[in-house]
Structure 1
Amino acid sequence: MAALPPTSRIRRAVLPVAFGAGLTAVLAGCAADPDEGTNGVGKLSASAIEEKAQSAADTAKSVRLAGTLVSKGGTYKLNMRLKQDGASGSVTTKNSTFELLRVGEALYLKADAGFWEHEDKPSGTPSGSDGDADSDADSDAADKLDDMYVKVPQDDPSYKQLRGFTDMDLLLDGLIGLHGDVVKGDRDKIGGLRTVKVKGGEDGEGGTLDVSLDGTPFPLQFARGGGAGVVVLSEWDKDFPLEEPAAGQTLDYGKQLPRT
């Protein structure tokens, strides 16, 4: 019969193994839970997270939308505060920047003189003809409209397009919808708030949405697929005043705005 090892030898062999196993359990128990203190949406499936975000946006009363959009070959920089009955903010295109204010269905546009200057005379009009007088008249009109609110007639062709920049539901529906099979992405932070990403497709070719893990699961950022722009959404449900401009700040251009 083989001799049994001394008890002290067994204890020396077993203790390191037991200690190591215990330490592993303690460290596992202390590992940070990424969902601790969050609203819990990070535990949901990608489609459920997207649904929560859409629902939060649909029931919101107001939001600030800022970022860049690429649409039909044009690039627009938006900084708009939006709510159901109106909006205010600015739009920058390749050639100009203008402000928009909508109170109900009344839509106002404000820009500098350079925005309003335009050429209506036929191409090839010789110098010294009536074309110069028309140009001077355009310049005079632009000076009068400089930095004034101009009410956009509702039957003007530009009314619908400009109003689209002030329509909260229309903008959100068009900007935060993902395309393709949705997958859950990494955790991140937007504006100091923790987020979880939901992507349209593995590479985000159908867009990438950052959904807040703090408080209400609002969408906080949307990157459009194909490099078509990134918008940041903030100040959800934070109200702001909307008032029509004073009479002294408003001018009437006429029945139709110039094409610019």
Structure 2
Amino acid sequence: MRTRNTALVGALCVGLSAVLTACGSSTPEDPDAGTNGVGKLEPAAIQDKARAAARGAEAVHLSGNVVSQGRTYRIDMRLKKNGGLGRVSSSSDASAFELLRVGDELYLKAPAGFWAKAAASSPSPAPKSTASKAGDAAAAAGKLDDKYVKVPSDDPSYQQFKGFTDKDVLLDGLIGLQGRLTRGDRGTVGGVKTVRVNGANGGGGTLDVSLVGTPYPLRVQRAGGAGQLELDSWGKDFALAVPDKKQTVDYGKQLRIPSGS
């Protein structure tokens, strides 16, 4: 009996040893298996692939926060090659506005408070009392409240506002990281596997690039903690058309669009 037990224990030990040896010698899982292979590239090459993918896409949805001059702005834009539409807002509702661009035609829609601020800062053709100027500003702003106003191409703010709706210009500025580039961790954005590229160990911004299908940029953290934006709906088209005349109001010359907003 003792001999039989000894033999049984010995057999179990040999079997267990074989299992442990097999587990210990198994090949580690390849993190790039089933991916587009971008994760194997050098950091600069990953960034270049992401920029090229972004430029080649017909459309994209961009949303998130941007910090500028100590203020945080919320951006929610849909962009494509011939224009874009969306909303830019801050903690103050009076500073919120919507943009719509079709080709070179750019429209701005904002609440009365936005236009009142613009009117109050516009130079008066003749000296007026503060109360009179405020009254004129309120009256003019009321006519533009929540209406599409076509921004003249010669207005100083035209190029600034247009930049929010220019897909290539906006994305090129976001995707470019600062400082020495390094490859970061693998992760997920919106359930999609990604590889991260860091600029200056993260201080120069970070870029999360899709490891599935086309290597689109899916998340951008701006340098110096200046905000974070997510990009999705790559290649998904959306309707874009100039507003109906009933929804528009002539800009005229009585107001100056506040480019600093």
Global fold match (TM > 0.5): yes
What percent identity do the matched residue pairs reach?
Answer: 51
Helix, strand or coil at the partner of 1:109: strand
Question: 1:252: Cα distance to partner?
Answer: 0.9
Q: Within 5 Å, give how 1:88-103 maps onto structure 2.
A: 88-95=85-92, 96-103=95-102
Instruction: Give the drift of 1:69.
Output: 1.6
Contact kept? 2:194, 2:210, Cα under 8 Å: yes
Q: Where does 1:37-186 land on structure 2 (aligned, <5 Å)? A: 37-95=34-92, 96-118=95-117, 119-120=120-121, 130-186=129-185
**1:70, CA displacement in angstroms?**
2.1
Number of the residue aligned with 2:23:
23
Deviations 1:157-210 (A, max 9, x none): 111111111111111111111122211111111111111111112x21111100
Aligned to 2:206: 208
- How many residue pairs end up in the alignment? 242
The residue that corresponds to 2:226 in the other structure is 228
TM-score normalised over the length of structure 1: 0.84
Aligned residue identity for 1:134: K
Deviations 1:97-143 (A, max 9, x none): 10000011111000111111132489xxxxxx743233222111111
What's the offset of the Cα at 1:73? 4.1
For residues 19 and 78 of structure 1, the distance between their equivalents in structure 2, rounded to whole angstroms, comes to 56
Q: Is the 8 A contact 1:185 1:198 kept in 2?
A: yes
In structure 1, what is the Cα distance between the partners aligned to 2:43 and 2:194?
Answer: 13
Q: CA RMSD in A?
A: 2.4
SS of aligned partner of 1:245: coil
Aligned residues of 1:121 and 1:134 also touching (Cα < 8 A): no
Q: Which runs of 5+ in 1 are unaligned?
A: 1-7, 123-128
Cα displacement (A) at 1:94: 4.8
Bigger helix share: 2
Tell me whether 1:195 sits opposite 2:213 in the alignment. no
Report what 1:5 is aligned to. none
The alignment's TM-score, normalised by the length of structure 2, stands at 0.84
